[in-house]
Homo-oligomer: A and B are copies of this chain.
Amino acid sequence: MVRAGIIGSTGYAGAELVRLLTAHPETEIVWYGSRSYIEQPFAKIYGNMFRLVGDVCRDDNMEALAEEADVIFTATPQGLCASLVTEDILRKVKIVDLSADFRLKDVKVYEKWYGLEHRAPQYLPEAVYGLCELNREQIRSARIVANPGCYTTCSILSAWPLIKEGLIDPDTLIIDAKSGTSGAGRGAKTANLFCEVNENIKAYGVATHRHTPEIEEQLSGAAGREVTVSFTPHLVPMNRGILVTAYASLTDKGITEEQVRTAYEKYYGTETFIRLLDPGVCAETRWVEGSNYVDIGFRVDPRTGRVIIMAALDNLVKGAAGQAVQNMNLLFGLDEAEGLRMPPLFP
């Protein structure tokens, strides 16, 4: 049994980790970290776990936790994981960090977009970007896995094969993303009240959202050169789900739907959690809810010479906790899909 500790277990991503790990046959949770609810029963805060979790929440003490666990998940705001991690801790446990602290290789880019000083830049070189489908082998032997952001997982997986295969011009890439509200977290903010979100759609963080450099860094890797993209997130009145609609000019007007399909199949053909949809089918968030799948569909538009890619995932599963479990499975030599095979829930 892998002993898991969660720092930040009472946020939405942390609680989703609890849901997944509780049902995982090879794991037990040994630490429910939550600075806000110390000594309170976890199941009092998340009533869905009533009678399934008996533990109380504990403070964010990574050193103490490292003594009791094999893996630590940090589902906390940026900056916390980097401020806590030490060589001593890394000798004892693996870390899967759901925050942004170890996602960007260039510390200056991190400090510019996040407005924070990085407290552990010495670990940036060894940290592995935990997008399992792209970095599976490096993840297996990592000490720190930087679990990707929700928007970024969906955005990168959408465009990666087409850039890698030279089918689209990366500089024309425009990513219009739509997210359910659980992505905004459980903090008590007026902007996230029911009556403010319901019956509304809005863009936010236009041209300035922090997931932009993360997308650019990974897609630059596919392009073999620096890539700049437009990324616009939107808030949608639903609980879960991210839909990415991405637009890019084909490098050749004659490129066909078949060629695009072949590129996706080349990279994702054997992937368990990426479902390449049938021709003409658009991705919809309802078909992935509660599951670790990413659904990808696309359409070539000969009128404009563009491809329109649509991808959907559950932001709390493949966009956060599910991917973290997938990374944990890789780190401990388990079946990569263990604990993640639940079919999507609809309606």
Binding site for B on A (CB under 8 A): 12, 15, 19, 22-23, 46-52, 174, 176, 178, 180-182, 186, 188-190, 192-204, 206-207, 228-230, 232, 234, 236-241, 243, 245, 247, 275, 277, 281-291, 295, 299, 301, 303-304, 306, 308, 310, 341-347
A195 to chain B: closest residue by CB: B347
Chain B residues whose C-beta falls within 8 Å of the C-beta of A301 in the assembled complex: 206-207, 230
Chain B residues whose C-beta falls within 8 Å of the C-beta of A189 in the assembled complex: 188
* Inter-chain contact A228/B304, CB cutoff 8 Å: yes
Scoring A180, A195, A240 by chain B CB atoms within 10 A of each residue's CB, the highest score goes to A195
Kindly state the separation between the CA atoms of A180 and B193 in the bound complex, as whole angstroms. Answer: 13
Chain B min CB distance to A92 (Å): 29
* Inter-chain contact B347/A282, CB cutoff 8 Å: no
* Inter-chain contact B347/A199, CB cutoff 8 Å: yes
* Inter-chain contact A48/B344, CB cutoff 8 Å: yes
A199 to chain B: closest residue by CB: B238
A274 to chain B: closest residue by CB: B51
* Inter-chain contact B232/A347, CB cutoff 8 Å: no
- The listed residue (B186, B197, B303, B341) touching A23 by CB distance below 8 A is B341
- The listed residue (B181, B281, B304, B344) touching A194 by CB distance below 8 A is B181
Chain B residues whose C-beta falls within 8 Å of the C-beta of A52 in the assembled complex: 343
Kindly state the separation between the CA atoms of A285 and B195 in the bound complex, as whole angstroms. Answer: 13
Kindly state the separation between the CA atoms of A259 and B194 in the bound complex, as whole angstroms. Answer: 37
A242 to chain B: closest residue by CB: B201
Chain B residues whose C-beta falls within 8 Å of the C-beta of A283 in the assembled complex: 202-203
Scoring A199, A243, A247, A344 by chain B CB atoms within 10 A of each residue's CB, the highest score goes to A199
Chain B min CB distance to A214 (Å): 15
- The listed residue (B201, B207, B275, B286) touching A236 by CB distance below 8 A is B201
With contact pairs A194-B181, A207-B303 given, residues A202 and B282 touching in the complex (Cβ less than 8 Å):
yes
* Inter-chain contact B178/A48, CB cutoff 8 Å: no
- The listed residue (B15, B243, B281, B287) touching A48 by CB distance below 8 A is B287
Other than A48-B287, A50-B287, A203-B310, give 16 A-B pairs with Cβ distance below 8 A: A19-B345, A23-B343, A47-B295, A48-B289, A50-B295, A178-B178, A181-B198, A182-B195, A182-B347, A186-B190, A188-B189, A192-B193, A202-B285, A203-B283, A234-B245, A240-B347
* Inter-chain contact A275/B202, CB cutoff 8 Å: no
* Inter-chain contact A241/B201, CB cutoff 8 Å: yes
Chain B min CB distance to A90 (Å): 31
